[in-house]
Copies of this chain bind each other. A is one copy, B any other.
Amino acid sequence: MTGTTEGSAPRRTRIQQEKRELILEAALEVFSANGFRGSTIDQIAEAAGMSKPNLLYYFRRKEDIHETLMQRLLDTWLAPLRELDDIGDPLTELRSYIRRKLEMARDFPRESRLFANEILQGAPRIRPMLEGELKTLVDEKATVIKGWMRAGKIARTDPWHLIFSIWATTQHYADFDVQVRAVLGADRGGDGRFEDAARFLEQLFLDGLKPKS
């Protein structure tokens, strides 16, 4: 640990970087499938192709892996919401936010499930982040949305619950994937289900269910 001290981030060798990455990837697989308490260090080590003590050389405690994973996750997970911008047509903005979120559910289901697992258990490890960083971000975007409503660009509703409903409907396709596939069956449960979902959600959020008449 020589040379210039770098804030709090420890210096790491190239091999440490790679192995840590390997472990985090394996841990994401295992944690998202079994939850934190349901996963064992041995499982993660095996998935990463190394022995348990070797893994513990890179991460001292099981919780350290989970914590690191969680920190990285939140950044990428909230990126779509951060991109929700005041410039451009409101309805278009919301539509692309929904689309981006749905794509994340499709492309990063493990991340979604890891997050869902944490929240389901009461978010013991990230509650401060929810009440701090997340709340701030959502409040900020809610203000933007309220502006759109005042300007008559979208219908008046509760912006917070609107955001909740977008989270719920999109992440559902990652978190409840097994159920979705089971209900849709072999024929409709294939790759096309995300396109069907995208079409449906667009209509739901824009027009609702009332008939044109």
Say which one of A20-28, A49-57, A173-181 lies at the interface with B. A173-181
What is the count of identical protomers in the complex?
2
**A171 to B130 CA separation, bound complex (whole angstroms):** 19
CA distance A169 to B168 in the complex (A): 5
Q: Does A13 contact B (CB under 8 A)?
A: no
Which residues from B are CB-within-8-Å of A37?
34-35, 37-38
| A160: chain B residues within 8 A (beta carbon) | 183-184, 188
Q: How far is the CA of A213 from the CA of B130 in the complex (A)?
A: 36
Tell me whether A146 is interfacial, beta carbon within 8 Å: no
Q: Specify which chain B residues have a CB less than 8 angstroms from the CB of A123 in the assembled complex.
A: 178-179, 182
CB of A196 within 8 A of chain B? yes
Residue of B nearest to A36 (CB): B38
Binding site of A, secondary structure by majority: helix, strand, loop or mixed? helix
A79 at the interface (CB under 8 A from B): no
- Beyond A91-B209, A209-B94, is A196–B120 a contact (Cβ under 8 Å)? no
User: Does A165 belong to the interface (CB within 8 Å)?
Assistant: yes
> Of B33, B34, B200, which contacts A161 at CB under 8 A?
B200
Which listed residue, B134, B135, B172, B204, touches A208 by the CB 8 Å rule?
A: B204
Contact of A164 among B94, B116, B172 (CB under 8 A): B172
Q: Nearest residue in B to A136 (C-beta to C-beta)?
A: B183
Cβ-defined contact, B205 with A134, below 8 A:
no
**Contact for A154 among B176, B184, B210, CB less than 8 A:** B210
Q: State the Cβ distance, A151 to closest chain B Cβ, in Å.
A: 9
Name A197's contact: one of B91, B161, B180 (CB within 8 Å): B161
Residue of B nearest to A200 (CB): B161
A96 at the interface (CB under 8 A from B): no
Q: Which of A37, A171, A183, A211 has the most chain B CB atoms closer than 10 A to its own CB?
A: A183
A to B CB contacts below 8 Å, 13 in the list: A35-B38, A36-B38, A91-B209, A117-B120, A130-B182, A134-B179, A134-B182, A135-B182, A138-B183, A155-B209, A161-B200, A206-B208, A206-B209
